[in-house]
Homo-oligomer: A and B are copies of this chain.
Amino acid sequence: MRTTSAAALDLGLRALLAWGVPPAAAELQVHTLVEAELRGHPSHGLARLPRVIDRIEAGVTDPKAVGSHTWTAEGALTVDGQHGLGPVVAVAALDALESRVGRTGIAYAALHSSDHLGMLSWYVERLASRGFIAIATTTSEALVHPWGGRYATQGTNPLALGIPALPEPLVVDMSTGVISMGKIHDYAARGIPLEDGWALDAAGEPTTVAHDARAGSIAPFGGAKGYALGIALEVLIASLSGSALGTDVRGTLDAVNYCTKGDIFIVIDARSTQGIGPTTDYLNSVRKSEPADPNQPILIPGDRARARRLVAAETGFDVTDETWNRLLERAG
Protein backbone atom coordinates (compact mmCIF):
# COMPACT_ATOMS: atom_id res chain seq x y z
CA MET A 1 0.00 0.00 0.00
CA ARG A 2 0.92 3.64 -0.50
CA THR A 3 1.33 5.93 2.50
CA THR A 4 2.68 9.36 3.38
CA SER A 5 5.33 10.29 5.89
CA ALA A 6 2.70 12.01 8.05
CA ALA A 7 0.49 8.92 8.18
CA ALA A 8 3.47 6.63 8.79
CA LEU A 9 4.84 8.85 11.54
CA ASP A 10 1.43 8.96 13.18
CA LEU A 11 0.86 5.21 13.12
CA GLY A 12 4.42 4.36 14.16
CA LEU A 13 4.25 6.81 17.04
CA ARG A 14 0.95 5.39 18.29
CA ALA A 15 2.35 1.87 18.14
CA LEU A 16 5.47 2.76 20.13
CA LEU A 17 3.57 4.84 22.70
CA ALA A 18 1.27 1.85 23.26
CA TRP A 19 4.34 -0.20 24.16
CA GLY A 20 5.74 2.18 26.73
CA VAL A 21 8.22 4.17 24.66
CA PRO A 22 8.46 7.77 25.93
CA PRO A 23 7.12 10.29 23.38
CA ALA A 24 10.43 11.92 22.38
CA ALA A 25 12.13 8.54 21.99
CA ALA A 26 9.21 7.16 19.99
CA GLU A 27 9.27 10.16 17.68
CA LEU A 28 13.00 9.78 17.05
CA GLN A 29 12.75 6.02 16.42
CA VAL A 30 9.91 6.39 13.92
CA HIS A 31 11.44 9.47 12.29
CA THR A 32 14.70 7.67 11.39
CA LEU A 33 12.76 4.78 9.82
CA VAL A 34 10.46 7.09 7.83
CA GLU A 35 13.48 9.08 6.61
CA ALA A 36 14.94 5.81 5.26
CA GLU A 37 11.67 5.17 3.38
CA LEU A 38 11.72 8.68 1.91
CA ARG A 39 15.33 8.21 0.78
CA GLY A 40 14.59 4.93 -0.95
CA HIS A 41 16.08 2.55 1.63
CA PRO A 42 13.09 0.41 2.71
CA SER A 43 15.50 -2.19 4.17
CA HIS A 44 16.09 0.37 6.95
CA GLY A 45 12.50 1.58 6.98
CA LEU A 46 9.15 0.85 8.60
CA ALA A 47 9.48 -2.91 8.13
CA ARG A 48 11.86 -2.80 11.09
CA LEU A 49 9.32 -1.21 13.43
CA PRO A 50 7.21 -4.31 14.24
CA ARG A 51 10.46 -6.04 15.29
CA VAL A 52 11.33 -3.11 17.56
CA ILE A 53 8.03 -3.71 19.35
CA ASP A 54 8.51 -7.48 19.38
CA ARG A 55 11.84 -6.87 21.09
CA ILE A 56 10.27 -4.61 23.72
CA GLU A 57 7.61 -7.26 24.32
CA ALA A 58 10.31 -9.95 24.64
CA GLY A 59 12.20 -7.85 27.18
CA VAL A 60 15.42 -7.65 25.11
CA THR A 61 14.91 -3.94 24.39
CA ASP A 62 14.35 -1.40 27.15
CA PRO A 63 12.04 1.26 25.71
CA LYS A 64 13.13 3.85 28.28
CA ALA A 65 16.94 3.46 28.27
CA VAL A 66 19.08 6.27 26.85
CA GLY A 67 22.50 4.79 27.70
CA SER A 68 25.00 5.39 30.45
CA HIS A 69 27.95 7.68 29.57
CA THR A 70 31.54 7.35 30.80
CA TRP A 71 34.26 9.67 29.52
CA THR A 72 37.45 7.61 29.60
CA ALA A 73 39.49 10.55 28.31
CA GLU A 74 38.65 14.11 27.29
CA GLY A 75 37.56 13.09 23.83
CA ALA A 76 36.63 9.45 24.43
CA LEU A 77 33.12 8.48 25.44
CA THR A 78 32.08 4.92 26.27
CA VAL A 79 28.35 4.30 26.13
CA ASP A 80 26.60 1.34 27.69
CA GLY A 81 23.37 1.40 25.74
CA GLN A 82 21.49 -0.50 28.47
CA HIS A 83 19.54 -2.29 25.71
CA GLY A 84 17.91 0.94 24.60
CA LEU A 85 16.54 1.87 21.19
CA GLY A 86 19.40 2.45 18.73
CA PRO A 87 18.55 5.98 17.60
CA VAL A 88 17.78 7.12 21.15
CA VAL A 89 21.09 5.91 22.57
CA ALA A 90 23.01 7.17 19.53
CA VAL A 91 21.54 10.67 19.53
CA ALA A 92 22.26 11.05 23.26
CA ALA A 93 25.86 10.04 22.55
CA LEU A 94 26.14 12.41 19.59
CA ASP A 95 24.74 15.29 21.62
CA ALA A 96 27.44 14.62 24.21
CA LEU A 97 30.14 14.58 21.52
CA GLU A 98 28.79 17.77 19.99
CA SER A 99 29.09 19.56 23.35
CA ARG A 100 32.60 18.26 23.85
CA VAL A 101 34.13 18.73 20.45
CA GLY A 102 34.31 22.54 20.59
CA ARG A 103 37.07 22.09 23.15
CA THR A 104 38.78 18.94 21.93
CA GLY A 105 38.35 19.40 18.16
CA ILE A 106 37.66 15.69 17.79
CA ALA A 107 35.86 13.19 19.98
CA TYR A 108 34.47 9.69 19.62
CA ALA A 109 31.83 7.53 21.20
CA ALA A 110 32.04 3.74 21.43
CA LEU A 111 28.62 2.19 22.00
CA HIS A 112 27.69 -1.30 23.06
CA SER A 113 24.42 -2.93 24.14
CA SER A 114 22.05 -0.77 22.14
CA ASP A 115 19.72 -1.73 19.34
CA HIS A 116 19.88 -1.30 15.57
CA LEU A 117 20.63 2.28 14.52
CA GLY A 118 18.73 2.25 11.25
CA MET A 119 20.27 4.18 8.38
CA LEU A 120 23.70 5.58 9.36
CA SER A 121 23.49 8.44 6.88
CA TRP A 122 20.81 10.09 8.99
CA TYR A 123 23.27 10.60 11.84
CA VAL A 124 26.22 11.87 9.83
CA GLU A 125 24.04 14.17 7.73
CA ARG A 126 22.55 15.70 10.88
CA LEU A 127 26.03 16.50 12.21
CA ALA A 128 27.46 17.64 8.88
CA SER A 129 24.62 20.09 8.39
CA ARG A 130 25.68 21.70 11.69
CA GLY A 131 29.33 22.06 10.64
CA PHE A 132 30.82 18.83 11.95
CA ILE A 133 32.61 16.12 10.03
CA ALA A 134 31.14 12.83 11.18
CA ILE A 135 32.23 9.24 10.72
CA ALA A 136 29.92 6.42 11.79
CA THR A 137 30.29 2.67 11.62
CA THR A 138 28.47 -0.25 13.14
CA THR A 139 28.72 -4.02 13.18
CA SER A 140 25.98 -6.50 12.35
CA GLU A 141 25.42 -10.24 12.45
CA ALA A 142 28.11 -12.06 10.44
CA LEU A 143 26.77 -12.10 6.87
CA VAL A 144 29.85 -11.40 4.75
CA HIS A 145 32.50 -14.00 3.87
CA PRO A 146 36.21 -13.18 3.85
CA TRP A 147 37.89 -12.72 0.48
CA GLY A 148 38.64 -16.24 -0.70
CA GLY A 149 36.42 -17.75 2.01
CA ARG A 150 33.28 -19.89 2.14
CA TYR A 151 31.41 -18.82 5.27
CA ALA A 152 30.39 -15.54 6.85
CA THR A 153 32.87 -14.21 9.39
CA GLN A 154 32.11 -10.49 9.47
CA GLY A 155 29.15 -8.14 9.49
CA THR A 156 27.98 -5.96 6.65
CA ASN A 157 29.69 -3.26 8.72
CA PRO A 158 28.57 -0.07 7.02
CA LEU A 159 30.70 3.06 7.01
CA ALA A 160 29.15 6.52 6.80
CA LEU A 161 30.81 9.90 6.40
CA GLY A 162 29.21 13.33 6.48
CA ILE A 163 31.20 16.37 5.43
CA PRO A 164 29.90 19.95 5.45
CA ALA A 165 29.23 21.55 2.04
CA LEU A 166 26.66 23.99 0.65
CA PRO A 167 23.79 23.84 0.14
CA GLU A 168 23.87 20.28 1.48
CA PRO A 169 26.62 18.13 2.97
CA LEU A 170 28.35 15.25 1.23
CA VAL A 171 26.92 12.06 2.73
CA VAL A 172 28.34 8.59 2.15
CA ASP A 173 26.66 5.53 3.65
CA MET A 174 27.96 2.23 2.34
CA SER A 175 27.76 -1.33 3.51
CA THR A 176 30.99 -3.27 3.08
CA GLY A 177 28.98 -6.13 1.55
CA VAL A 178 28.41 -6.12 -2.22
CA ILE A 179 24.65 -6.37 -1.62
CA SER A 180 22.46 -6.36 1.47
CA MET A 181 20.72 -9.47 2.84
CA GLY A 182 17.52 -7.42 2.56
CA LYS A 183 18.03 -7.18 -1.20
CA ILE A 184 18.80 -10.89 -1.44
CA HIS A 185 15.45 -11.58 0.24
CA ASP A 186 13.83 -9.13 -2.16
CA TYR A 187 15.40 -10.88 -5.20
CA ALA A 188 14.25 -14.23 -3.78
CA ALA A 189 10.69 -12.97 -3.32
CA ARG A 190 10.64 -11.69 -6.90
CA GLY A 191 12.42 -14.75 -8.34
CA ILE A 192 15.25 -12.70 -9.87
CA PRO A 193 18.75 -14.22 -10.11
CA LEU A 194 21.70 -12.61 -8.33
CA GLU A 195 24.76 -11.47 -10.24
CA ASP A 196 27.80 -13.75 -10.35
CA GLY A 197 30.08 -13.23 -7.40
CA TRP A 198 27.53 -11.68 -5.09
CA ALA A 199 26.83 -14.58 -2.77
CA LEU A 200 27.56 -18.11 -1.60
CA ASP A 201 25.00 -20.69 -0.50
CA ALA A 202 24.84 -22.41 2.91
CA ALA A 203 27.45 -24.96 1.76
CA GLY A 204 29.88 -22.17 0.84
CA GLU A 205 29.46 -22.61 -2.92
CA PRO A 206 28.88 -19.72 -5.35
CA THR A 207 25.22 -19.26 -6.25
CA THR A 208 23.07 -16.88 -8.27
CA VAL A 209 19.86 -18.34 -6.80
CA ALA A 210 18.68 -15.70 -4.37
CA HIS A 211 16.62 -18.24 -2.43
CA ASP A 212 19.76 -20.29 -1.72
CA ALA A 213 21.87 -17.27 -0.78
CA ARG A 214 19.55 -16.39 2.10
CA ALA A 215 21.15 -19.03 4.32
CA GLY A 216 24.61 -18.42 2.86
CA SER A 217 26.88 -15.43 2.83
CA ILE A 218 27.45 -12.19 0.92
CA ALA A 219 30.67 -11.22 -0.87
CA PRO A 220 32.54 -8.18 0.35
CA PHE A 221 32.21 -5.24 -2.08
CA GLY A 222 35.23 -4.46 -4.23
CA GLY A 223 36.95 -7.80 -3.62
CA ALA A 224 39.92 -7.93 -1.28
CA LYS A 225 39.70 -4.21 -0.50
CA GLY A 226 36.10 -4.34 0.70
CA TYR A 227 36.95 -7.41 2.77
CA ALA A 228 39.89 -5.55 4.33
CA LEU A 229 37.78 -2.50 5.10
CA GLY A 230 34.96 -4.59 6.59
CA ILE A 231 37.17 -6.65 8.89
CA ALA A 232 39.09 -3.55 9.97
CA LEU A 233 35.81 -1.90 10.97
CA GLU A 234 34.71 -5.09 12.78
CA VAL A 235 37.78 -5.03 15.03
CA LEU A 236 37.96 -1.24 15.31
CA ILE A 237 34.43 -1.19 16.70
CA ALA A 238 34.88 -4.17 19.02
CA SER A 239 38.28 -2.97 20.26
CA LEU A 240 36.84 0.30 21.48
CA SER A 241 33.29 -0.67 22.46
CA GLY A 242 33.78 -4.20 23.77
CA SER A 243 31.01 -5.39 21.45
CA ALA A 244 30.84 -8.97 20.15
CA LEU A 245 32.79 -10.09 17.08
CA GLY A 246 31.93 -12.12 13.99
CA THR A 247 29.41 -14.90 14.51
CA ASP A 248 28.84 -13.84 18.14
CA VAL A 249 26.92 -10.75 17.06
CA ARG A 250 23.17 -11.00 17.72
CA GLY A 251 20.05 -8.93 18.00
CA THR A 252 19.71 -6.67 14.95
CA LEU A 253 17.68 -9.25 13.01
CA ASP A 254 15.82 -11.13 15.73
CA ALA A 255 13.46 -10.47 18.61
CA VAL A 256 14.94 -12.87 21.14
CA ASN A 257 18.53 -11.80 21.81
CA TYR A 258 20.02 -8.77 23.50
CA CYS A 259 21.80 -6.80 20.82
CA THR A 260 25.57 -7.37 20.99
CA LYS A 261 26.79 -5.30 18.03
CA GLY A 262 28.77 -2.12 18.56
CA ASP A 263 28.88 1.34 17.04
CA ILE A 264 31.55 4.02 16.71
CA PHE A 265 30.95 7.70 16.03
CA ILE A 266 33.83 10.09 15.43
CA VAL A 267 32.98 13.80 15.32
CA ILE A 268 35.39 16.51 14.17
CA ASP A 269 34.71 20.20 14.61
CA ALA A 270 35.00 21.74 11.15
CA ARG A 271 33.15 24.96 12.01
CA SER A 272 36.27 27.10 12.12
CA THR A 273 38.02 25.65 9.06
CA GLN A 274 37.91 27.42 5.70
CA GLY A 275 36.92 24.16 4.05
CA ILE A 276 33.28 24.67 3.17
CA GLY A 277 33.83 27.13 0.29
CA PRO A 278 36.49 25.09 -1.53
CA THR A 279 34.61 21.86 -0.81
CA THR A 280 31.42 23.25 -2.29
CA ASP A 281 33.21 24.56 -5.40
CA TYR A 282 34.98 21.26 -5.89
CA LEU A 283 31.83 19.15 -5.50
CA ASN A 284 30.04 21.38 -8.01
CA SER A 285 32.91 20.96 -10.47
CA VAL A 286 32.63 17.16 -10.13
CA ARG A 287 28.85 17.37 -10.70
CA LYS A 288 29.59 19.29 -13.92
CA SER A 289 32.25 16.82 -15.05
CA GLU A 290 31.34 15.12 -18.33
CA PRO A 291 29.42 11.87 -17.78
CA ALA A 292 29.88 8.70 -19.83
CA ASP A 293 26.13 8.74 -20.48
CA PRO A 294 24.84 12.26 -21.24
CA ASN A 295 21.54 11.35 -19.57
CA GLN A 296 23.21 10.33 -16.32
CA PRO A 297 24.94 13.36 -14.82
CA ILE A 298 27.64 12.76 -12.22
CA LEU A 299 26.27 12.58 -8.71
CA ILE A 300 27.90 13.41 -5.40
CA PRO A 301 27.24 10.95 -2.56
CA GLY A 302 23.97 12.07 -0.96
CA ASP A 303 22.51 13.69 -4.10
CA ARG A 304 20.42 10.70 -5.14
CA ALA A 305 18.93 10.14 -1.68
CA ARG A 306 17.99 13.81 -1.36
CA ALA A 307 16.39 13.86 -4.81
CA ARG A 308 14.36 10.77 -3.93
CA ARG A 309 13.37 12.33 -0.62
CA LEU A 310 12.02 15.45 -2.36
CA VAL A 311 9.81 13.34 -4.61
CA ALA A 312 8.67 10.92 -1.91
CA ALA A 313 7.77 13.78 0.43
CA GLU A 314 5.20 14.77 -2.23
CA THR A 315 4.09 11.40 -3.56
CA GLY A 316 4.50 9.16 -0.52
CA PHE A 317 6.04 5.70 -0.50
CA ASP A 318 5.03 2.03 -0.47
CA VAL A 319 4.79 -0.11 2.63
CA THR A 320 3.77 -3.75 2.66
CA ASP A 321 0.28 -4.51 3.95
CA GLU A 322 1.90 -6.88 6.41
CA THR A 323 4.01 -4.15 8.02
CA TRP A 324 1.11 -1.72 8.11
CA ASN A 325 -1.30 -4.25 9.59
CA ARG A 326 1.17 -5.35 12.24
CA LEU A 327 1.64 -1.71 13.25
CA LEU A 328 -2.13 -1.19 13.37
CA GLU A 329 -2.42 -4.21 15.67
CA ARG A 330 0.39 -2.95 17.89
CA ALA A 331 -1.13 0.54 18.06
CA GLY A 332 -4.26 -1.17 19.45
Which residues of A approach B to under 8 Å, CB–CB? Answer: 72-76, 101-108, 133, 146-151, 153-154, 159, 161, 163-165, 170, 172, 174, 204, 221-223, 225-229, 231-232, 234-236, 238-240, 242, 245-246, 266, 268-270, 272-276, 278-279, 281-283, 285-286, 289-293, 296, 298-301
- Whether B275 and A240, one on each chain, are in contact in the complex, defined by CB atoms closer than 8 angstroms, is yes
Q: Which residues of B sit under 8 angstroms from A102, Cβ to Cβ? A: 73
14 A-B residue pairs with Cβ-Cβ distance under 8 Å, sorted by A, are A74-B74, A75-B106, A133-B239, A159-B229, A161-B236, A204-B292, A225-B226, A231-B286, A231-B301, A235-B279, A235-B283, A238-B279, A242-B273, A246-B285
Question: Whole-angstrom distance from the CB of A176 to the nearest CB of chain B?
Answer: 8
Q: Which residues of B sit under 8 angstroms from A149, Cβ to Cβ? A: 286, 289-292, 298
Question: Whole-angstrom distance from the CB of A215 to the nearest CB of chain B?
Answer: 16
Copies of this chain assembled into the complex: 2
Known: A75-B105, A275-B240. A232 touches B161 (CB 8 A): yes
Identify which of A104, A151, A159 gathers the most chain B CB atoms within 10 Å of its CB. Answer: A104
- Whether A268 and B289, one on each chain, are in contact in the complex, defined by CB atoms closer than 8 angstroms, is no
Q: What 5 pairs across the A-B complex have the smallest Cβ distances? A: A222-B222, A76-B105, A73-B105, A239-B275, A245-B282
Q: Bound state CA distance, A279 and B150, in angstroms?
A: 21
Identify which of A104, A227, A239, A279 gathers the most chain B CB atoms within 10 Å of its CB. Answer: A239
Partner pick for A239 among B151, B222, B273, CB 8 A cutoff: B273
